[in-house]
Copies of this chain bind each other. A is one copy, B any other.
């Protein structure tokens, strides 16, 4: 079974169920993808005219798309220094993980209270698949990246809180994907992560909201520690190779 088929679809992560109808939306999606995937480098400068020509549209709709990208923090506009793709510094990453800990903790709590038995069962199955895939060497990378997010995405939706799940999936998760893209980052040893995921699902199964929240928060703050180490290492290496020049 090819790894790419283990999931029903990538849509779960895409979150844009609706087809883009306007140019503005289309270019919003395209730009978002370009930024997240790294096609547009972090911190790179952007001009309206350049993008308009590149996408073959006029500046009107483009500007609307830009305002939206600004709102979800993928673009940063500095008053008189133009516009840049956001740079995910260690500091920003820490802020994101902190907010994430609070929101996903709450999300897990609500999921424990509200998730249907069927959905819990399906979530549990998902974890089985993740477990299996650890041994499939080819699958590793995929699971460590998208699979992990898929789990968190499901919990967010299970909170049945539109605000919460929108905030997580349309802002925070996008930035996480972006961060991973940048460094070939492997957030955690997958076996440990899946173990933690399992515990969270067990808490949800027991309808223990308190525990689900606690475990989720630990899981995320634990992830942050590992990510932080990687980022620090990276920074040290960057510095080293800079000095070589």
Interface check A60, CB cutoff 8 A: yes
For the complex, give the distance between the alpha carbons of A229 and B92 in Å. 39
Chain A positions 89 through 113: 1 when the CB is less than 8 Å from some CB of chain B, otherwise 0? 0001001101101110110001000
Task: Report chain B residues within 8 Å CB of A63.
Answer: 60, 64
**From residue 62 to 119 of chain A, which have CB atoms closer than 8 A to chain B?**
63-64, 67-68, 70-73, 79, 92, 95-96, 98-99, 101-103, 105-106, 110
Q: Which of B21, B92, B98 contacts A110 (CB 8 A)?
A: B98
Query: With contacts A71-B71, A71-B72, A72-B71 known, is A161 near B99, CB below 8 A?
Result: yes
Once the chains bind, are A164 and B99 in contact (CB under 8 Å)? yes
Query: With contacts A64-B67, A102-B102, A102-B105 known, is A162 near B95, CB below 8 A?
Result: yes
- For chain A, the bracket of interface size reads 20 to 34
For the complex, give the distance between the alpha carbons of A95 and B107 in Å. 11
Once the chains bind, are B101 and A106 in contact (CB under 8 Å)? yes
Task: Report chain B residues within 8 Å CB of A103.
Answer: 99, 102-103
The residue on B at minimum CB distance from A80 is: B21
Once the chains bind, are A167 and B98 in contact (CB under 8 Å)? no
Task: Report chain B residues within 8 Å CB of A72.
Answer: 71
For the complex, give the distance between the alpha carbons of A163 and B102 in Å. 12
Query: With contacts A60-B60, A68-B67, A68-B71 known, is A163 near B95, CB below 8 A?
Result: yes
For the complex, give the distance between the alpha carbons of A149 and B29 in Å. 36
Once the chains bind, are B64 and A163 in contact (CB under 8 Å)? no
For the complex, give the distance between the alpha carbons of A169 and B117 in Å. 37
Task: Report chain B residues within 8 Å CB of A164.
Answer: 95, 98-99, 102
Task: Report chain B residues within 8 Å CB of A73.
Answer: 163
23 contacts between A and B (CB under 8 A): A21-B79, A60-B60, A60-B63, A64-B64, A64-B67, A67-B67, A68-B70, A68-B71, A71-B71, A95-B161, A95-B162, A98-B106, A98-B110, A98-B161, A98-B163, A99-B103, A99-B106, A99-B161, A99-B167, A101-B106, A102-B102, A103-B103, A167-B167
